[in-house]
Amino acid sequence: MNVKNQENLPASAATVLEDPWADLKRYTDARIALGRCGVSLPHTEWLRFRLAHAKARDAVLTPFDRAGLRTELESAGLHCLELASAAASKEDFLARPDKGRRLAEASRQLLASKYAVPDNQGADICLVISDGLSARAVHENAAPFARRFLACAADAGYSATPVALVEFGRVAVADEVASLMGAKLVVILIGERPGLSSPNSLGVYLTYAPFPGCTDEARNCISNVRPAGLSIEEGVRKLCYLVQGAFARRLTGVNLKDDMPATYLPFAGGRTAIT
């Protein structure tokens, strides 16, 4: 029943009023055109909200399956390291964001003793994967993204460190990992803060010449990588373009623009084709 017909009914019959924008809901997962029941949400929309909120909480609180992800990546021929941030638990991670930005002492010592290379004299790319605020996003999207990106990078002649799997990590923890391993550029795949329509959104951040204490204006971000958002294939293509530009210009962040042409192919023209 449409809104016009409902308005002609007695008040007792016109309980739920549809929103005139209801047809637009087929184009987006956003919470639009919810309708109303008096001054409140219809009961069905309230239940959908509760379900979406529960999915978002689950995404944050789900434990990071590092072992499962490592098995999946190593079955594709990628060497992995299991590391941890300074946060001792999920509760500690949520209450103390600063701890998620630095490595635990044991992880720092492991990298310093076995993988240390002078500043930016090691591999071209260090790939870090962390649960962040949505382990679900990592479990669903990180492995295929990592495999595809590292394969493209290898074909283009870029060297890479072992993949670092960091539990309870924030974006900046990748800078310390890459710095200890002497990588020229770091890419971190991390679970983004879940929204009510996107509990499985993966974020991708890259930083050229990373170092501990590096700030956000020196990074580039690709957001919303998930089946209902930016596809893995398109995300990898965009990342390849930015990585190629970063090595050509020796920078990332606000001075590296995402002006990728529609016809761009991963690492087209070689490492220094973008000027």
Answer yes or no: is pLDDT of 77 > 60. Answer: yes
Q: Which pair of structure tokens corresponds to residue 186?
A: 């770091």
Contact 207, 252 (CB under 8 A): yes
Q: How far apart are the C-alpha atoms of 2 and 23, rounded to whole Å?
A: 11
Residues above pLDDT 90, as percent of the chain: 74
Confidence band, pLDDT 50/70/90 cuts, at residue 35 = confident
Is the pLDDT higher at 171 or at 3?
A: 171
Half-sphere exposure for 52 (CA within 13 Å, toward CB): 14
Q: How far apart are the C-alpha atoms of 238 and 106, rounded to whole Å?
A: 34
Question: How much is the pLDDT for 273?
Answer: 60
Question: How much is the pLDDT for 43?
Answer: 87
Question: How much is the pLDDT for 154?
Answer: 96
Q: How far apart are the C-alpha atoms of 227 and 225, rounded to whole Å?
A: 7
CA nearest to 191, candidates 209, 167, 160: 167
Answer yes or no: is pLDDT of 1 > 60. Answer: no
Between helix 105-114 and helix 173-181 the angle, nearest 10°, is: 20
Contacts of 88 (CB under 8 A, 6+ apart): 99
Contact 58, 196 (CB under 8 A): no
Confidence band, pLDDT 50/70/90 cuts, at residue 25 = confident
Residues above pLDDT 70, as percent of the chain: 93
CA nearest to 142, candidates 267, 232, 58, 74: 232
Q: How far apart are the C-alpha atoms of 163 and 71, rounded to whole Å?
A: 12
Answer yes or no: is pLDDT of 122 > 60. Answer: yes
pLDDT per residue over 137-185, tens digit each?
999 999 999 999 999 999 999 999 999 999 999 999 999 999 999 999 9
CA nearest to 32, candidates 164, 155, 196: 196
Confidence band, pLDDT 50/70/90 cuts, at residue 270 = confident
Residue with tokens 């260090």, as numbered in its chain = 126
pLDDT per residue over 195-221, tens digit each?
888 999 999 999 999 999 999 999 999
In 131-201, the DSSP E strands lie at 163-167, 185-191
Report all structural domains of the chain as residue ranges with CATH numbers, in order of start: 3-60 (no CATH), 64-249 (3.40.50.11240)
Phi, psi of 228 (to 5 degrees): -90, 5
Q: Is the pTM of this model over 0.75?
A: yes
